[in-house]
Amino acid sequence: MSDVLGTTGLILNEPLLWEKGKPGRRGFSLPVRDVEVSPLDESLTSPGPDFPDLSEVDVVRHYTRLSTWNFGVDTGTYPLGSCTMKYNPKINDKQAALPGFSGAHPLLPQKLSQGLLRLMFELQRMLAEITGMDAVSLQPSAGAQGELTGMLLICAYHKSRGRKPSKILVPDTAHGTNPASAALCGYRPIPVSSNDKGILSVESVAEAMDEDTAGIMITNPNTLGLFEENLKGIVDLVHAKGGVVYGDGANMNAVLGIMDVGCTGLDVLHLNLHKTFSTPHGGGGPGSGPVCVKKHLEPFLPVPRVLEEEGKYVFSSDFPQSVGKLHAFYGNVGIMIRAYSYIRTMGAVNLKKASQLAVLNANYVKERLKATYHLPYDRPCMHECVFTDKNQSSAKVMTSDIAKRLMDYGFHPPTIYFPLVVNGAIMIEPTETESKDDLDRLIDALQAIAEEANNNPDLLHQAPIKCKRRRLDEVTAARKPILAG
């Protein structure tokens, strides 16, 4: 057993700065005055804002303590399935903060932005090479916006061929944003069930696919962390019926350098730069969901596009069939710079190794925990694995109790109750950046929690008990939220 049970959970309380202030405290000292006092004309001054008087140490401790109330990828293991909360090398943040990049205004003339335009152009090329697709738009600013872009492309493609299908197939193991993006584009999402192996069968797609169906949206690896082994057969079938295949490539960190998406016949794919290529997911911060397409969808890509013309890099909007603009200016450039830096510093060999480690780590966690937690699909997984609370339910311990107790052991909870196809899902994505030591600590903690479920279930019902905030009344919080004060 590792030292995980020794976690103290020590978190210091902290009042507001206004409550801490004491008249006369100072965070600075001025040299002794060597000139006569000359009072200001009081009719021209005001009392100024009501700021508290504070010393330097008051302020430093205040913000340092507040920072310890948060948990991030720099704090510890963050196994939030589907979100790929991996540690990212700081060099990539540093590159994005270089003054030439961070100070660049989007309205700068193109001839003064050649470096940034070149970076965007080369990033497009690198993503095309990584995915095996023909052309890329960096414009969408999230995975879900990439999906919406993909749907708009599919719609425009069908329209250009005189077709106006009304439906699109979405497997029950697709990411939850998929049906929403399809609906936003005017398509009716038709659910397709996965089989007893947790993947799609050609037969179930064949049953649902008809002439009024625009195509299918496939998340691969899917939200169970399983590889869609029948992909080729499904792609061929959908194409044969005039449909287009959309790939949700947000889980690309499982297959970098291993799967050539282009070869599988997918027509359009989005990536989540903020999962796979160096920016952490979450917090509502800026993201980037580039869309990669095969040649036949290229004319419809959003404008402006970044092109190279006679050795110069330019924005071009000269694409009459384009679906138009998806984002102010050109997308979230800071995330693109991090991704560019990540890809260049890793190189092809290490990108592949990162995916191999992501898969290895998930399978290690799966194998070591499957005797303790129920594993609904007991087969090799990709970058994440999904357990349930079935073994703990006789002690009336639920998935949410397990997840909340994990905070007492110093870990961010995993994703819970998702994917929806699994009752009481506990979805763990360890990511490639966790060492075996850290994985062992996480496994020890989950095993200790399972023992507590048997011996002291009440403890779990109260968890978390060492966190800054104890268990919230979630029903009241949802029904009567207090949003201020």
Ligand X SMILES: Cc1ncc(COP(=O)(O)O)c(C=O)c1O
Question: By the criterion CB under 6 A, which residues form the site for ligand X?
Answer: 82-83, 142-144, 175, 177, 219, 248, 250-251, 272, 281, 287, 289
Q: Which residue number, 198 or 464, has a Cβ lying nearer to ligand X?
A: 198
Q: Which residue number, 290 or 410, has a Cβ lying nearer to ligand X?
A: 290
Provide the minimum distance between the beta carbon of 249 and ligand X in the complex, in angstroms, as a whole number. 8
Provide the minimum distance between the beta carbon of 381 and ligand X in the complex, in angstroms, as a whole number. 15
Provide the minimum distance between the beta carbon of 173 and ligand X in the complex, in angstroms, as a whole number. 10
Q: Which residue number, 220 or 392, has a Cβ lying nearer to ligand X?
A: 220
Q: Which residue number, 154 or 445, has a Cβ lying nearer to ligand X?
A: 154
- In the numeric block, which tokens belong to residue 454? 């048997």
d(CA 234, CA 402): 38
For the beta carbon of residue 400, count every other beta carbon within 10 angstroms.
Answer: 19
d(CA 431, CA 485): 37
**From residue 327, how far is each of 239, 272, 463 by CA, in Å?**
30, 16, 42
Q: Which residue number, 83 or 234, has a Cβ lying nearer to ligand X?
A: 83
Provide the minimum distance between the beta carbon of 84 and ligand X in the complex, in angstroms, as a whole number. 7
Q: Which residue number, 251 or 361, has a Cβ lying nearer to ligand X?
A: 251
Among all residues, whose Cβ is closest to ligand X? Answer: 143
Q: Which residue number, 85 or 443, has a Cβ lying nearer to ligand X?
A: 85
245, 239 Cβ separation under 8 angstroms: yes
Q: Which residue number, 180 or 202, has a Cβ lying nearer to ligand X?
A: 180
Q: State the first-to-last Cα distance of the chain, in angstroms, to the nearest integer.
A: 43
Provide the minimum distance between the beta carbon of 122 and ligand X in the complex, in angstroms, as a whole number. 23
Provide the minimum distance between the beta carbon of 33 and ligand X in the complex, in angstroms, as a whole number. 57
Q: Which residue has the tokens 């949206």?
A: 217
d(CA 8, CA 112): 54
Provide the minimum distance between the beta carbon of 384 and ligand X in the complex, in angstroms, as a whole number. 9
The alpha carbon dihedral of 252, 258, 261, 265 has a sign of negative
Question: How remote is the C-alpha of 321 from its chain's centroid?
Answer: 31
Coil, strand or helix at 360: helix
Provide the minimum distance between the beta carbon of 21 and ligand X in the complex, in angstroms, as a whole number. 40
Full DSSP string of 92-155: HHHHHTSHHHHT--TTS-GGG-HHHHHHHHHHHHHHHHHHT-SEEE----SHHHHHHHHHHHHH
Provide the minimum distance between the beta carbon of 82 and ligand X in the complex, in angstroms, as a whole number. 4
270, 150 Cβ separation under 8 angstroms: yes
d(CA 409, CA 446): 9
40: Cα within 13 Å, side-chain hemisphere: 6
Q: Which residue number, 248 or 401, has a Cβ lying nearer to ligand X?
A: 248
d(CA 16, CA 56): 15
What type of residue sits at position 140? P
